[in-house]
């Protein structure tokens, strides 16, 4: 972020200001979900994991996973490449700036998109598709936008995204088990999905209590798998208060997003969360936004819906919700409700 940005004093709404200036909230103390049993087919361990997930997702939509099978060397390399990118001169980062309407590329405080409540962060985002379709090939993207000296970074993130996809399919299977539906249902729905990888960098801020790294929001996508550095700053809204998530290098953070909330007809909550900043240190996070193929019609599975149960959300496609957040609505805590209204009213005007 430009040096003059530190003189940028943001005045968040009073409630947030008092809230943050009071200092860090207490920590969420729920134990992580241990995936070891899943990989060795231990039925008891799987049902324990499913019941932990059911309780957490019915309450606030957040849990952490350990013994996830992701190579720590790949995780470390992804953090190192993220540091290398954000330590580039501003001119190099601006050269790969996000284009209007696209999530991909670099953004500084989203200053190109919004004129108030700017997040105190830089982001770099790109697409990932398992079938390595050319336009979503991570290595080509890095080489084409950042040049040959970032080919190594492209290789690292290709591997990291493959690991995230594998982990997401395990989590989706456990979510199905926890919901009592066919355990392969969500895995099949997502295995050909195209996801978004985002690197977040939150610079230190002299007035850390007057701003936010990312304001309160629910992720519009289906599932978010996040690995944070050891600085701390992620908070989720649970048990009627903001609760800090202590960083664990061996764990991934998992959030239920809006799209999965619709895919389970509201059984599980889309996690309300935010990122606060501090006065001393930059904080960085790797975020993988799991999404289904853009053109799939999304609705809850038949074996989830009670015979008399009303649908809470209309059928929709991820392409429509993504477009809504990029061109019509700044994602926040009530994106899905506003999207449903927008979708239905635009269909009515079309008929």
- 221 interface partner picked from Fe ion, ligand L2PXNNRO, ligand AKG, none, CB below 5 to 8 A per type: ligand L2PXNNRO
Q: Which of residues 200-229 bind ligand AKG (CB under 6 A)?
A: 200, 214, 219, 226, 228
When asked if residue 331 is in the footprint of ligand L2PXNNRO (CB under 6 A), the reply is: yes
283 is catalytic: yes
Judged by CB under 5 A, the residue of 122, 173, 194, 219 near Fe ion is: 219
Residue in 98, 187, 274, 283 annotated catalytic: 283
d(CA 321, CA 324): 5
- Can you spell out the DSSP letters for 186-241? HHHHHTT-EEEEEEEEE---TTGGG--SEEEE--SSSEEEEEE-SS--EEEEETTE
When asked if residue 217 is in the footprint of ligand L2PXNNRO (CB under 6 A), the reply is: yes
User: Across the strands, what pairs with 224?
Assistant: 255, 289
The helix/strand count (H/E) of the chain reads as: 11, 12
Judged by CB under 6 A, the residue of 322, 336, 339, 343 near ligand L2PXNNRO is: 322
Q: Which is nearer to ligand AKG, 243 or 265 (CB)?
A: 243
Q: Which of residues 105-144 bind ligand L2PXNNRO (CB under 6 A)?
A: 110, 119
Judged by CB under 6 A, the residue of 156, 275, 298, 343 near ligand AKG is: 275
User: C-alpha angle with apex 29: 71 to 54, nearest 5 degrees?
Assistant: 75
When asked if residue 274 is in the footprint of ligand L2PXNNRO (CB under 6 A), the reply is: no
Q: Which is nearer to ligand AKG, 200 or 265 (CB)?
A: 200
- Can you spell out the DSSP letters for 127-169? EEETT--GGG-HHHHHHHHH-GGGHHHHHHHHHHHHHHHHHHH
d(CA 271, CA 217): 8
Q: Which is nearer to ligand AKG, 200 or 243 (CB)?
A: 200
Which of the residues are catalytic? 283
């Amino acid at each position: 972020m430009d040096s003059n940005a530190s003189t940028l004093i943001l005045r968040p709404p009073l409630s947030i200001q008092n809230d943050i200036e009071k200092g860090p909230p207490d920590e969420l103390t729920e134990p992580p979900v241990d995936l070891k049993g899943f990989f060795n087919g231990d039925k008891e361990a799987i049902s324990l994991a499913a019941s932990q997930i059911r309780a957490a997702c019915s309450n606030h939509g957040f849990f952490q996973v350990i013994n996830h099978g992701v190579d720590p060397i790949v995780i470390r390399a992804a953090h190192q490449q993220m540091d290398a990118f954000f330590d580039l001169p501003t001119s190099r980062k601006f050269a790969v700036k996000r284009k209007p309407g696209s999530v991909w590329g670099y953004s500084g405080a989203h200053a190109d998109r919004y004129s108030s409540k700017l997040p105190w962060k830089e982001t770099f985002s790109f697409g990932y598709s398992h079938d390595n379709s050319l336009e979503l090939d991570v290595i080509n993207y890095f080489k084409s936008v950042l040049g040959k000296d970032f080919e190594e970074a492209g290789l690292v993130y290709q591997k990291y995204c493959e690991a995230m996809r594998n982990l997401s399919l395990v989590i989706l299977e456990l979510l199905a088990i926890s919901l009592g539906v066919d355990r392969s249902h969500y895995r099949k729905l997502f295995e050909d999905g195209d996801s978004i990888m985002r690197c977040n960098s939150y610079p230190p801020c002299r007035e850390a209590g007057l701003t936010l790294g990312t304001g309160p929001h629910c992720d519009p996508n289906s599932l978010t798998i996040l690995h944070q550095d050891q600085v701390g700053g992620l908070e989720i809204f649970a048990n009627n208060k903001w609760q800090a998530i202590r960083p664990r290098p061996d764990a991934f953070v998992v959030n239920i997003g809006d799209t999965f909330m619709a895919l389970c007809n509201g059984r599980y909550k889309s996690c309300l969360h935010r990122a606060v900043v501090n006065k001393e240190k930059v904080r960085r996070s790797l975020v993988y936004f799991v999404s289904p193929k853009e053109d799939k019609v999304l609705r809850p599975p038949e074996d989830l819906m009670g015979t008399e149960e009303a649908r809470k959300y209309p059928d929709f496609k991820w392409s429509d919700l993504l477009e809504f957040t990029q061109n019509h609505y700044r994602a926040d805590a009530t994106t899905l409700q506003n999207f449903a209204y927008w979708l239905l009213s635009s269909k009515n005007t079309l008929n």
